[in-house]
Amino acid sequence: MDEAQFALARSPDLAAMQWIKENTPPEAIFLVEAYRIYGGTTIVGSDGGWYLPLLTRRQTYLPPQYALLNEVPIEPDYSERAVQLIADLENFALSSAEGIRVLCDYGISHIYLG
């Protein structure tokens, strides 16, 4: 099996993670690329951004898959809101007025595209 084919975080991601640690505030909240699965009931990361919390100590709106499916969130509706964020962004370009409103509504301060 070619492990590189399935890797989500590669060398450019690791360099970006270092830059993020050095150049973004600790309270930053990142939007990372994700998509809905299981009939739209949960979300998963699709690139190295999924590792942002682990590698940078910065928050994303995308918790680990295991947590979404099997853990009780601290905020009662967190999982539903995380899924809804991705669903909302499927309908609007990020640069559109609607897309920017969605990002602001969810408190997103930065975007990571890996």
pLDDT confidence of residue 66: 65
In total, the chain counts a number of residues equal to 114
pLDDT confidence of residue 48: 87
DSSP string, the chain: --HHHH-SS-HHHHHHHHHHHHHS-TT-EEEE-EEEETTTTEEEE-SGGGGHHHHH--EES---HHHHHHS--SSTTHHHHHHHHHHHHTTS-TTSHHHHHHHHHTT--EEE--
pLDDT confidence of residue 52: 92
Q: One digit per residue, pLDDT tens: the chain, 114 residues?
A: 565 666 677 788 899 999 999 999 999 999 999 999 999 988 888 888 888 998 999 999 887 776 767 777 778 888 889 999 999 999 999 999 999 999 999 999 999 987
| This model's pTM is above 0.75 | yes
Distance CA 77, CA 2 (A): 38
For 28, the token pair is 């930053």
Instruction: Scan for tokens 């967190």, then name that residue.
Output: 78
71-74-88-93 Cα dihedral, nearest 10 degrees: -100
pLDDT confidence of residue 75: 81
